[in-house]
Amino acid sequence: MKVAVVGATGLVGTVMLKVLEERNFPLTELIPVASEKSVGKLIKFKGKEYPIVSIDTAIGLRPEIAIFSAGGTTSLESAPRFAEVGTTVIDNSSAWRMDPTKKLVVPEVNAHVLTKEDKIIANPNCSTIQMVVALQPLHAKYKIKRVVVSTYQSVTGTGVKAVDQLMNERKGIDGPKAYPYEIDLNVLPHIDVFTDNGYTKEEMKMVKETNKIMGDDTIRVTATTVRIPVMGGHSESVNVEFENDFDLADVRRILEEAPGLIVVDDVANLKYPMPKDAHEKDEVFVGRLRRDESHDKALNMWIVADNLRKGAATNTVQIAEYLVANKLV
């Protein structure tokens, strides 16, 4: 089982390597791939050193699986080349997500759609992943009509440059900027570029990806995505309107029994999910469960997950685990 990690030196790529190691993924050979300037450098994995190679070299080695976190341009150029030699690609960029010929997968929700013929599989947007893990089991019972979500997203979602900007601002150091404004002691209601309808691309990703992953275009979604000066994970305030009335105790039971979810909801003792608690965890945390008192069939909840793990690296590795377990590679 040869596994290539494309973008191995990036913020998400390094977490992917960590998750592969932690979860003891059954690979026999690691092929770390990065840009030409990194070729030849060594990466440590399970106590052994592996040299970084170029994309061309990696394709020549014909790995069974290639995990991509190297940006959309690289994915569009190189994922089909891996697929042509029989490699199954799991891509973390936005390049293939809305391609109708490609599957968009969150294992707890829709891994069953995968087949041996799927040679390029898309990993969804981080903020969408954590939301649908909580929505799917409730949709199965009560049928969701509409979702209103506001996100509170970590600077790690932008990358190293954004983390550096935040820490530099805290120290009073002038340095490279990832954002058009200061992020420390501030919030930016602006993630990705604005589109013609006034929403950002990040907001529209949440709308379209939710429908595709859950396999239901009737679910109406509206989103406001916000960048905040935290690290450790993304948080979301989610209001869900159901077609059918629900029992709050039953909602809690469904979420407690759902795969990949941990309910943290004890307001009497000030227990609720926070980014610090989700940091370096693979699960999605949900709390602040309560009826929307302005609507008979609506629920409010608060969802938190580590955006670099469940929102990116862990979800990708879980897809790979499913492929191996079901002999699809």
Residues 142 and 242 in one domain: yes
Radius of gyration (C-alpha) of the chain in whole angstroms = 20
Residues 224 and 316 in one domain: no
Given the residues 126, 139, 279, 295, the one annotated as active site? 126
Q: What is the DSSP letter of 270?
A: T
Q: What order do you get walking across the sheet with 88-91 strand by strand?
A: 29-33, 2-6, 65-68, 88-91, 120-122, 103-104
Q: Which residue in 125, 148, 147 sits closest to 136, CA to CA?
A: 147
Residues 131 and 234 in one domain: yes
Residues 98 and 193 in one domain: no
Given the residues 112, 139, 234, 295, the one annotated as active site? 234
- Domain at 225, CATH number: 3.30.360.10
**What separation, in Å, do the N-terminal and C-terminal C-alpha atoms of the chain show?**
9
- Domain at 90, CATH number: 3.40.50.720
How many domains, the chain? 2
Residues 136 and 91 in one domain: no
Residue 240 in any domain: the answer is yes
- Tell whether 38 is in a known binding site: yes
Residues 18 and 113 in one domain: yes
234 is catalytic: yes
Say what the pLDDT of residue 245 is: 95
- Tell whether 11 is in a known binding site: yes
126 is catalytic: yes
Q: What range defines the domain where residue 72 resides?
A: 2-123+312-326
Say what the pLDDT of residue 27 is: 96
β-pairing, 120-122 vs 42-45, is unpaired
- Tell whether 97 is in a known binding site: yes
Say what the pLDDT of residue 54 is: 97
Say what the pLDDT of residue 200 is: 98
Residues 142 and 283 in one domain: yes
Say what the pLDDT of residue 15 is: 95
Report yes or no: 225 and 191 within 8 Å, Cβ to Cβ.
yes
Residues 217 and 286 in one domain: yes
- Tell whether 12 is in a known binding site: yes
pTM of the entire predicted model: 0.96
Provide the residue-wise pLDDT of the chain in tens; the chain has 329 residues: 999 999 999 989 999 999 999 999 999 999 999 999 999 999 999 999 999 999 999 999 999 999 999 989 999 999 999 999 999 999 999 999 999 999 999 999 999 999 999 999 999 999 999 999 999 999 999 999 999 999 999 999 999 999 999 999 999 999 999 999 999 999 999 999 999 999 999 999 999 999 999 999 999 999 999 999 999 899 999 999 999 999 999 999 999 999 999 999 999 999 999 999 999 999 999 999 999 999 999 999 999 999 999 999 999 999 999 999 999 99
- Tell whether 9 is in a known binding site: yes
Residues 112 and 212 in one domain: no
Q: Which residue in 160, 300, 180, 318 sits closest to 240, CA to CA?
A: 300
Residues 135 and 283 in one domain: yes
Q: Is 86 left (phi over 0), alpha (psi -120 to 50) or beta?
A: left
Residues 91 and 139 in one domain: no
